[in-house]
Amino acid sequence: MKKTTTILAVAALMSSTAVVNAETLKWARAGDALTLDPHSQNEGPSHTMRHQMYEPLIIRDTSGAFVPTLATDWAPSADNPNVWVFNLRKGVKFHDGADFTAEDVVFSFERAKQPNSDMKELIGSITAVRAVDDHTVEIETEGPNPILPSNLTNLFMMDKGWTEANNTVNVQDFEGGEITYATTNVNGTGAYTLVSREPDVKTVMARNEAYWGRNDFPMEVSEIVYTPIQNAATRVAALLSGEINFLQDMPVQDLARVDGTDGLVVKQAPQNRVIFFGMNQGADDLEADNIEGKNPLADVRVRKAMSMAINRDAIRQVVMRGQSQPAGMIAPPFVNGWTAAMDGESSTDLEGAKALMAEAGYGDGFSIRLDCPNDRYINDEPICQAAVGMLGQIGITVNLDAIPKAQHFPKIVEGKTDFYMLGWGVPTYDSEYIFNFLVHGRESDIGTWNGTGFNDADVNAKIKSLASNTDLDARNADIAAIWRAVQDEQLYIPIHHQVLNWGMGEGVGIEVDPEDQPRVKYFTMK
């Protein structure tokens, strides 16, 4: 019996050593991809998983610079200022062996413009996509669009034939709960192929030995095992035990513990993302409050009072353990249009907030529900819990409803929340991206994440003009004017800019991406 136990112990030790030295990346984070459909959800973890298997025409590196991917080069047409010409990489194949051609690009753009697509705001200025030949594509926009390439870094290319053969030409209706072949199956051009998919349990991917960049990137990971682990303590325990060797969502309270453990390291970088609260100012009456017949959030004084009640420094110190930067606008410092002056406009002033509440007729306060995700952002639920106490100091009783992101996000898109947490990254590095999704009045192809009800005709017109304004000084002046309206109307309550911390085995080689999008083809393994 003792001999058997010893053999088992040695076997366990060998297994543990194999995990460290193997080419398997055992990767975990708090939540799963919402769907594998490339055009369904414009959401960070969903994009991150898809980036391993699908590819866009262009990506960005960790410095924000463009990197040719399925397009080798691109430039405005010499004949028509409204047209961009993209030359496609030759010899690229989808996972099933089919050739990647311009026909697939045209199809993918058309699919991404469908009503159910969450990517349509990014390409709203596009009027036509044409295949000139198998490896040349023209993209025409409504007027010259100087920043079109910036909008394409998460727009993935699909195989037209595969999509048609599997009856998944239409983008899934995510909010309606639809499941299609594309939600759990993949045929991309990327560095990894899908082996198995159990949503919210485990996803396994294998190295694509026929990948066009097989010899251009390290490609040292032969297998990816991705496991969503919502509980923070469980995630850290998995890293400490060697069950995983890459943790994307490091709990801030465990940074020192992990970084001080032999064989583990923590790497850090500012993230291109802001966390904030949205408020429904547009409804005549709210579903989630106790005020009958009117909407307290429709009064800008109430919205400003709520912002003044939030102690961002306390959230930074207590909830985030120093791992955040208080924000005064919902644009990260990476983004064109961000200014230090606007980012410093949020301050805590309880007496001033109480005075504004009384002036607005809500001196006795009111109650409201706060909708919050519990598996998307760093310490999302604890931030909401802190806000509950802070708003209570000015008489607002907040009932917190924290749920998984898969149920939380549809509430915002469908207009079923009056007060909610959201985080927003800006892959284009330009304010137009924020405005298109979060500020423009809600229409079929724009403003889809604007749950505030704000809809100003002049602001809308300025936003739409940004896509075709080639006078960059005038364009930046319009961006500043739009931001001034956003700030003055207190459309959102900015909380902080996130700081990223990735935990990993010391043999895992990768630097933190400000977009929080690790691409495993760049990883090295020792």
Task: Based on the fold, state whether residues 285 and 177 are members of the same structural domain.
Answer: no
**16 pLDDT more than 80:** no
200 and 275: one domain?
no
* 266 to 257, 261, 338: CA distances (angstroms): 10, 10, 29
> Could you give the CA distance from residue 264 to residue 240 in angstroms, rounded to a whole number?
8
Domain boundary among 228, 244, 263: 228
| Total domains present in the chain | 2
Quick one: 205 and 336 in the same domain? no
Q: Distances from the Cα of 197 to the Cαs of 51, 159, 186, 219, 312, in angstroms?
A: 15, 20, 10, 21, 39
Q: Where are the alpha helices (DSSP H) in 199-299?
A: 232-241, 255-259
Interhelix angle 431-438/472-488, rounded to 10 degrees, is 40
Q: Are 464 and 322 part of one and the same domain?
A: yes
Looking at the structure, tell me whether residues 70 and 155 fall in a common domain.
yes
**Res 105: pLDDT:** 98
pLDDT of residue 440 exceeding 90: yes
Length in residues, the chain: 526
Question: Distance from CA of residue 121 to its chain's centroid?
Answer: 15
Name the token pair of 6.
């010893």
| Statement to judge: residues 345 and 414 lie in one domain | yes
Asked if residue 257 belongs to a domain, the reply is no
Q: Are residues 92 and 199 in the same domain?
A: yes
What CATH number should be reported for the domain holding residue 206?
A: 3.40.190.10
Query: pLDDT digit string (tens) for 79-124?
Result: 999 999 999 999 999 999 999 999 999 999 999 999 999 999 999 9
What tens digit of pLDDT does each residue of 397-429 get? 999 999 999 999 999 999 999 999 999 999 999
Query: Could you list the residue range(s) of the whole structural domain that residue 197 is in?
Result: 21-228
pLDDT digits (tens, 9 = 90+) for 39-56: 999 999 999 999 999 999
Burial environment of residue 461 by CB neighbours within 10 A (0 to 12, 13 to 18, 19 or more): exposed
Looking at the structure, tell me whether residues 204 and 299 fall in a common domain.
no
Q: Which helix (H) or strand (E) holds 59?
A: strand 58-60
C-beta atoms surrounding 4 within 10 Å:
8
Q: How confident is the model at residue 13 (pLDDT cuts 50, 70, 90)?
A: very low
Residue 354 has pLDDT above 90, yes or no: yes
Q: What's the average model confidence in pLDDT over 148-164?
A: 98
On whether the CB atoms of residues 59 and 151 are closer than 8 A, the answer is: no
Measured CA distances, 509 to 50, 259, 269, 521 (Å): 21, 15, 15, 11
Domain-located, residue 513: no
Q: What whole-number percentage of the chain has pLDDT above 90?
A: 95
pLDDT for 445: 86
Is residue 222 located within the same domain as residue 289?
no
Contact 292, 336 (CB under 8 A): no
Looking at the chain, the whole-number percentage of residues with pLDDT higher than 70 is 96
Residues 312 and 217 in one domain: no
pLDDT at 293 over 90: yes
> Is residue 463 pLDDT above 60, yes or no?
yes
User: What is the CATH number for 370?
Assistant: 3.10.105.10
Give yes or no: residues 399 and 475 share one domain: yes
**Pairwise CA distance, residues 3 & 18, whole Å:** 22
Average pLDDT over residues 351-358: 98
Give strand ranges (E) for 295-450. Answer: 324-326, 366-373, 396-403, 419-425
Cα gap 90→58, rounded to integer Å:
15
Mean pLDDT to the nearest integer, 266-289: 96
pLDDT of residue 284: 96
* pLDDT for the residue 444: 83
To 5 degrees, how large is the angle CA 419–CA 424–CA 427? Answer: 160
pTM of this structure: 0.90
In a domain, 6, yes or no: no
With cut-offs at 50, 70 and 90, classify the pLDDT of residue 9.
very low
